[in-house]
Amino acid sequence: MAVTPTFEIDRSSPTPLYFQLAKAIEDAITDGTLPAGSRLANEILLAENHGLSRPTVRRAVQELVDKGLLVRKRGVGTQVIQPHVRRSVELTSLYDDLARGGEAPTTEILSLERLPAPADIAEELDLAVGAEVVALRRLRRTRGEPLAMLTNYLPGRFEPTLEDLTERGLYQYLRTQGVHLRVAHQRIGARLARADEARLLEEPPRSALLTMERTAFDDQGAAVEHGRHVYRASRYDFETTLVGR
C-alpha cells in the first residue's frame, strides 16, 4: 500500500518548493516514518495534498532518486530503499564513522584466532613469516542490515577479546592499548561477491562489492593493523574531496 504522508511547505520561504518537499521526504526516510520498502504516493496525490504542481513534485522525487533514497519500479511505483552509507576516505574506522552518523552499528564475530603469519600478511605488518598474528573476521550491520565483511590482522602482541570487538570498533580497541594511529596506506577497488560473501551480506550471487585494503601505522611508524574488507556496493560508497594544484 502506498504511503501518503503530509509535509509542511512554507510558501513564504525563499527555499524552492521542490527542495522543501525533497528535504521533508528525506527526513521522513531518515527518521523511519517512511521505512525501507514502503511505497510513496504517486506524484498526482502528492501534488494535490500539498498544493504543488506535478513538475515541482516530479523534481523533488527525482532529487531523491538521484541520491539513492527512492527508486522507481515499473508496476510498483516509487519505493523507499535503504539509504547508502557514505564514508569519507580518512583514517577512521567504519564503526566510528557509523556511530558518528547515528547509525547504531552492530558487530558479529565470525572468527577470532591466533595463527602464523602468511608471507603476504607478514610483509604488510613488517613481521617475519610465521610470526604470530591475530586474525579476525567480522560482519558489520547497520539498521539491522549487513553492510560489510571485515577481515583484519594484528601483530601477536595484541589480545583483543570477543567483548572488545563486539562492543566497540577495532580502532577503539587499539586506542585503549595506547596506540596512536598516524597514517595508513589504502587501496580501494571492486569485484564480484563469492558465494559465502553474498550469503552473509544478503546479496544475490556474484553481486558487485567494493573492496578496501588498508595497513595502518602508529606514531612510531610501526604497522599495527592490516585490513581486507568488502562492502555491499548497493549500500555503500566512498567519498573524497579533490583539490586543484
pLDDT, tens digit (0-9, with 9 covering 90-100), for 218-239: 888 899 999 999 998 877 666 6
A 10 A CB-CB count for 6 gives 9
A 10 A CB-CB count for 1 gives 6
Strands (E), 97-131: 106-116
Level-2 CATH architecture, domain 85-239: 3-Layer(aba) Sandwich (3.40)
Identify the pLDDT of residue 86: 52
Grid cell, residue 218, equals 602508529
193 vs 195: CA distance, rounded Å: 6
The pTM of the full predicted model, rounded to 2 decimals, is 0.62
Point out which residues pair with 201 in neighbouring strands. Answer: none
Helix (H, G, I), strand (E, B) or coil at 107: strand
Identify the pLDDT of residue 88: 46
Predicted confidence (pLDDT) per residue in 143-160, tens digit? 788 889 999 999 999 999
In Å, how far are 140, 150, 151 from 112, measured between CA atoms? 15, 12, 10
Choose the CATH number for 2-80 among 3.20.20.120, 3.10.129.10, 3.30.460.10, 1.10.10.10: 1.10.10.10
For 164-186, give the DSSP string.
HHHHS-HHHHHHHTT--EEEEEE
| Ranges 56-65, 67-76, 80-89, 164-173: which has the least confidence | 80-89
Predicted confidence (pLDDT) per residue in 20-62, tens digit? 888 888 888 877 788 877 888 888 888 888 888 989 889 988 8
Angle among Cα 89, 114, 133 to the nearest 5 degrees reads 50
A 10 A CB-CB count for 8 gives 8
| Domain locations in the chain as residue ranges | 2-80, 85-239
